Amino acid sequence: MLNIALAKGRLGEEIYSMFEEAGYGVSGMREKTRKLIFSDEQRGLSYFWVKPSDVAIYVERGAADIGVAGKDILLESGADVFEILDMRKGLCRMSVAGPVGYSSKPGETIRVATKFVNIASEFYASKYQDADIIRLNGSIELAPLLGLSDVIVDIVETGNTLKANNLCELERITDISAWLIANKASYRFHAAEIRKLANDLERIVSGKEV
Ligand code: PRP
């Protein structure tokens, strides 16, 4: 049985459509129920719907053999998994944003509000800039508006949230998308199955017929 963790929500459903298109659908997955596990014993497939930020944990610890997680979650958690295929979905970027025209003064400790404290810390460490990282859980854009921070490190997709709050993107840290990941031990035990699945999905990602 191949156990697959997918993120609950719109992006997870789009990802599941790609699995289905690649020939890995199981019945019941589209039901609007509160059920979280859908298995097809004959086909040897079992899907779990998990919280997006938990996919990497399920896979790292082997509760799921494979999963699809955002690069933001992978970078932030530092999960020890194999990143197998860029699914090219959920495209966005991790950026520094702040008030229009903001720039830090040399030697200044910059105050940074973010949900992604590890990504932000590593980014400023790589620039040898002192940063006071302030962990928030949401509505990050409020922080510079209320003087809690100088800038934010957050996900930018359309840029609408920044624009609506008179903020702008100052620096792009990295591009983000959803990645197919595998547990390291599972990848050895189920090597042929996982490679075939990745190849079948790769054809869908690049728009070819399976
Ligand atoms: C994310 C992110 C930004 C917004 C960016 O928030 O934190 O606030 O989306 O998208 P945009 O560039 O298309 O406007 P999310 O909706 O996930 O909620 P959050 O406030 O809990 O982070």
Question: Are 77 and 181 found together in one domain?
Answer: yes
pLDDT at residue number 5: 98
Q: What is the CATH number of the domain that holds 17?
A: 3.40.190.10
75 and 136 both lie in a single domain: no
Mark whether 86 and 147 lie in a shared domain: no
**Distance between CA 130 and CA 126 in Å, rounded?**
10
* Count of structural domains, the chain: 2
**pLDDT higher than 60, residue 209:** no
Mean pLDDT, rounded, for 63-89: 98
Say if residue 49 is in the same domain as residue 126.
no
Shared-domain flag, residues 171 and 181 = no
Q: Indicate whether 43 and 69 sit together in one domain.
A: yes
Residue 156 Cα, ligand 1 centroid: separation in angstroms?
7
9: left (phi over 0), alpha (psi -120 to 50) or beta: left
158 shares a domain with 96: yes
Query: 159 pLDDT exceeds 90?
Result: yes
Ligand 1 atom at shortest distance from the alpha carbon of 163: 14
How far is ligand 1, taken at its centre, from the CA of residue 3, in Å? Answer: 30
pLDDT one-digit tens code per residue, 22-43:
999 999 988 888 889 999 999 9
Question: Do both 37 and 20 map to the same domain?
Answer: yes
Domain membership of residue 114 as a residue range: 92-175
Task: Summarize pLDDT for 164-173 with one digit per residue, the tens.
Answer: 999 999 999 9
Does the C-beta of 72 come closer than 6 Å to ligand 1?
no
Are 76 and 8 members of one domain? yes
* pLDDT bucket at 210, cuts 50 / 70 / 90: very low
Residue 172 has φ and ψ, to the nearest 5°, of: -90, 125
* 33 pocket-lining for ligand 1 (C-beta < 6 Å): no
Are 170 and 138 in a shared domain? yes
Q: Is the model's pLDDT at 203 over the cut of 80?
A: yes
CB of 53 shorter than 6 A to ligand 1: no
